[in-house]
Amino acid sequence: MVINRSVIRGVGAYLPKKVMTNHDLAKLVDTTDEWIVARSGIRQRHIAADGENTSDLAIAAAHQALVRAKIDPVDIDLVICATATPDRTFPATAVRVQAGLGVTKGAAFDIQAVCSGFVYALTTADNFLKTGQFRRALVIGAETFSRILDWEDRSTCVLFGDGAGAVVLEAEPQHGEREDRGILATRIRSDGRYEDLLYVDGGPSSTKTVGHLRMNGREVFRHAVQKISGVIEETLVATGFAADEIDLFVPHQANQRILNGIAKKLGVAPEKIVITLDNHGNTSAASIPLALNHAFEEHLIKEGSLVLMEAMGGGFTWGAVLARW
Ligand code: ACO
């Protein structure tokens, strides 16, 4: 059976130049490097410069992905930007990225699923490519979380950072088998009953302000391991793969302890997990493509690698994608 698969042709990333270490943070709030490393695994984060917007980060990451894919921007017909920190309330950051890159056909829109945004965006692009409506997609995760943090709240400001990552997807006819290249399965979920555990306390319609991130960290932690493990298991069952057949586990980079818990529950070998959160903290929708980019640059990922991605974020939203590179 011939079917269209969304094959990943290129990956790119961008981190702002300014680095803020845990020691820098300890000068702002009552915290220590030891506490942050022990509770989260994070050592530093990157912070966007004044005037550097989410779309600037996104354009830099997307440009690198396009160059590596050897695909011209004029041949892209879908741009999806996953972000919870758009440049403006409207238009979508994706259309600013579209214009900045010189993409002139097709459609561009944002997806708002917070830390699960990249998984949601990949799922959406994959469905458009599979049906044949679009042929080449840019899928970006880009965030400037430094703009929505309460820099006096030590329980949240130590965990997040800014950054962007992108992949170029191209539809390619495959055989409909588990050996195919491209995206093999996607699963997305949400449950709005958990909004109060992780949210931003502002918005154009409610307060006419941007607001700050608020989180009940202990409760988020409790749900994360259970919900993410569940959706990964569903993805594996749908494709008939066992956890030990995964070549590379590329999770949302929220917290080292969450990743350890998931790996233990699923029986994923620690050396197969890509970890980048020590360098950039939790960059929300940008964290999976940043980790993919790291895996690519470090030659951990090669053509044929079976790659499992997963994320959970505010909402709650969560999901997983299984792809062969
Ligand atoms: N430095 C020093 N002490 C701190 C800090 C800090 N930055 N922040 C909180 N504390 C203190 C608290 O005040 C508390 O003190 P008390 O015992 O005197 O009251 C103590 O440390 C313990 O606080 P807890 O919140 O219970 O600490 P916990 O072990 O739960 O760790 C953390 C907190 C790291 C936020 C953890 O709950 C966590 O990782 N949760 C997951 C959150 C997450 O990753 N969210 C990302 C978005 S969702 C996602 O991406 C999956």
Where exactly are the structural domains of the chain?
A: 3-174, 183-324
Q: Indicate the burial class of 262 (C-beta count within 10 angstroms; 0-12, 13-18, 19 or more).
A: buried
Residue nearest atom 33 of ligand 1, based on CA coordinates: 217
Its sign, for the CA torsion 298, 304, 305, 308, is positive
Look up 282 and say whether it is catalytic.
yes
pLDDT of 263 over the 90 cut: no
Residues 89-104, mean pLDDT to the nearest whole number: 98
Task: Assess whether 252 carries a catalytic annotation.
Answer: yes
pLDDT digits 0-9 by tens, 279-311:
999 999 999 999 999 999 999 999 999 999 999
The CATH class for the domain spanning 3-174 reads alpha beta
For residue 72, the CA-to-ligand 1 centroid distance in Å is 45
124, pLDDT greater than 90: yes
* 4 confidence band (pLDDT: 50, 70, 90): very high
Q: Which residue puts its alpha carbon closest to atom 26 of ligand 1? A: 218
> Does 231 score more than 90 pLDDT?
yes
| CB 278, CB 43: distance < 8 Å | yes
pTM: 0.97
pLDDT in the model for residue 262: 87
Q: From the candidates 46, 63, 252, 294, which is the catalytic residue?
A: 252
Report the alpha-carbon distance of residue 119 to residue 124 in Å, rounded. 9
Average pLDDT, rounded, for the chain? 97
Amino acid in position 265: K
* Res 247: pLDDT: 96
Same CATH fold assignment for domains 3-174 and 183-324: yes
pLDDT on residue 205: 97
Which residues have C-beta atoms less than 6 Å from ligand 1? 31, 35-36, 39-40, 115, 154-155, 158-159, 198, 215, 217-218, 220-221, 224, 252, 254-255, 258, 282, 312-313
What is the band of 1 on the pLDDT scale with cuts at 50, 70, 90? confident
Class of domain 183-324: alpha beta
pLDDT tens digits along 179-217: 999 999 999 999 999 999 999 999 999 999 999 999 999
Query: How high is the pLDDT of residue 268?
Result: 87
